[in-house]
Amino acid sequence: MRWSKTFIPTLKEDPADAEVVSHKLLVRAGFIRQLSRGIYDYLPLSLKVIRKIEAIVREEMDRAGAQELLLPIACPAELWQESGRWLVYGKELIRFKDRHERDFCLGPTHEEVITDLVRRIVRSYRELPLNLYQIQTKFRDEVRPRFGLMRGREFIMKDAYSFHVDVEDCRREYENMFQTYKRIFSRCGLQFRAVEADTGAIGGSRSHEFQVLAESGEDAIVSCNKCEYAANVQKAEIKARRPAGRDLNENSPKREKVSTPGKKSVAEVAEYLKLPAEKFIKTLVYRTDKNELVAALVRGDHEINEVKLQAALGCGEVALAGEAEVEAATQVSPGFLGPIGLTLRTVADLSIQGMRGAVAGANEPNAHYIEVDQERDFTPGAFADLRLAVAGDSCPRCDEGFLESYRGIEVGQVFYLGKKYSEPLGATYLDTEGRERPIEMGCYGIGISRLVAAAIEQNNDSNGIIWPFSIAPFHVLLLPINYRDQALQEAADRIYQQLQKRGVEVLLDDRDERPGVKFKDADLIGIPLRLTVGVKGLEKERVELRWRRDGKTDEIPLGDAAQTIHSIITQSLQA
Ligand code: ATP
Ligand code: MG
């Protein structure tokens, strides 16, 4: 392609609303423009990257035995009512009525639609297993769309769904997809980790996320420094510990009420009493989806994991209760709440069990207790694993390891669904003995457009994007210093033709711009190789080959340029 005929609207300045580097660079380098919050136009360069990612995904999915189809974006509400998700999915599901007042939604994911298709067609065990996938636009009315393509409202997803006669075959396919995902993300040139994950709104009982490691990632993940264990902190287990042995006697310190005027947060009280945060018992009040107020206790230096809290309480979504409702229920401000004498149902984190010499709110204004002894002073309704894992925790799987923490961008997730959708929707098959059985299911998603952003988060420098070869919009940028100089133009055109003949994806910067502008734009859009044709070089029959990633340059003979570049690209794509 010739730059002068390509739609690449680069900008000199970062867009004002962009917080992360991929968002800034995608806009500045002319890859995307925002149409509405979380809704983007994909310009020619980003569409090329998307098509490359899609091609890798298709190749690997097909190789793994899956088949591509395409389902509608507009989904009738009835299916979502059958699965029960019409009520529970919340505002992320965008709903509308057609002219006949029938309810529809734009598909945020397609378990219902595909299960409906399969239940209408599959009759016998002979037609299974099946793995069907699509690459399609999804819509989720996210509360906080942000970071450009990372969290959009409209985005491109590859979603696959598999159907099996039994658990064993479904597990086999889960493993097949797991390995397929590893190949896909490796081929995209990304550094990633597969981590154990919570199943969220999709449901099911077993799940892994594929996380691209990046500081800007929205997910916190932990992994063991000794064994293979890795998990999203939402899911990460805490190693069970034995509570400290007891030796309480009459000399043990007595519980004492101390004044803590206006000191509410753990940090404030810790500073005031000169005691470390890990000595504190934090009391947090949550409202459950059944409208009950419950108190959750964690150590002062720990954070509640709401997913674990929901599991411990056996309820759906929980939300931190507001100050006013806590005061109305307990007659004390949340800052001075504590477990002793509290009338709410209480669950405590495992680390609270057997705690001694602790500090907790006294359930009256401006006062805390010190020297609290859990076993002597209060008994919560239950103990459970309630907290988020943190770096330094012991590994829950092996005996020696400790957890390290990272930030990650979730680019894919695989789920073992079991009968979660087949049962309510009645997707069954007849087994070898003619008995009707529910189909076992799995599902597997990849955020194609998010992957574009994730690749940039991992591959950039202060001058712009550095595309991995396999997903770059072009492989080489051919840059004549001055395209109006006849000799330079002839040389550049000749190399351009030779490259095209060899099937090399080349962008020729034939614009009438100063060399400085061209070099800046070249770095910004991030094509892996740059071939510069200049006056001095041409006199020696040489051109300059420069690698975008490390800035390394080589002078290569003009006559060999196309061949040299072709073999570099072939090698890089095989690597
Ligand atoms: P998240 O936790 O980031 O909201 P999710 O777990 O809800 O994502 P899935 O239902 O697992 O998402 O969807 C499959 C894939 O689609 C995700 O792994 C992610 O890469 C991508 N994805 C999900 N939501 C978005 C979004 N709002 N914008 C871009 N990509 C998304
Ligand atoms: Mg997910």
In tens digits, the chain (575 residues) has pLDDT values of: 999 999 999 999 999 989 999 999 999 999 999 999 999 999 999 999 999 999 999 999 999 999 999 999 999 999 999 999 999 888 999 999 999 999 999 999 999 999 999 999 999 999 999 999 999 999 999 999 999 999 999 999 999 999 999 999 999 999 999 999 999 999 999 999 999 998 877 667 789 999 999 999 999 999 999 999 999 998 999 987 766 656 666 677 899 999 999 998 999 999 999 999 999 999 999 999 889 999 999 999 999 999 999 999 998 889 999 999 999 999 999 999 999 999 999 999 999 999 999 999 999 999 999 999 999 999 999 999 999 999 999 999 998 999 999 999 999 999 999 999 999 999 999 999 999 999 999 999 999 999 999 999 999 999 999 999 999 999 999 999 999 999 999 999 999 999 999 999 999 999 999 999 999 999 999 999 999 999 999 999 999 999 999 999 999 999 999 999 999 999 998 87
Q: What does the alpha-carbon distance between residue 231 and residue 196 come to, in Å, rounded to a whole number?
A: 4
Q: Are 337 and 260 in contact (CB under 8 A)?
A: no
According to the 3-state scheme, what is the secondary structure of 58-70?
HHHHHHCCCEECC
- Selection from 34, 26, 514, 18 nearest residue 10 by Cα: 26
Residue closest by Cα to atom 8 of ligand 1: 410
- In the chain, the amino acid numbered 312 is A
What is the residue with the minimal CA distance to atom 14 of ligand 1? 445
Residues framing ligand 1 (Cβ under 6 A): 109, 140, 142, 151-152, 155, 157, 200, 202, 410-413, 445, 447, 449-450
Residue environment code for 83-120, b if the CB has 16+ CB neighbours within 10 A, otherwise e: bebbeebeeebeeeeeeeeeebbbbbbbbbbbbbbbbe
DSSP string, 92-106: GS-EEE-TT--EEEE
**In angstroms, what is the span from residue 507 Cα to ligand 2's centroid?**
36
Residues within 5 Å of ion ligand 2, judged at the Cβ atom? 413
Whole-number Å distance between alpha carbons of 491 and 15: 37
413 alpha carbon – ligand 2 mean position (Å): 5
Please tell me the distance from the alpha carbon of residue 387 to that of residue 282, in angstroms, as a whole number: 12
Rounded to whole angstroms, the Cα distance separating 409 from 451 reads 9
d(CA 500, CA 498) in angstroms, rounded, equals 5
**Nearest Cα residue to atom 27 of ligand 1:** 151
Q: Measure 444 CA to ligand 2 centroid, in angstroms.
A: 9
DSSP single-letter state for residue 557: E
Closest ligand to Cα 192: 1
**Best probe residue, ligand 1, of 39, 94, 413, 452 (max atoms within 8 Å of C-beta):** 413
Ligand at shortest distance from the CA of 145:
1
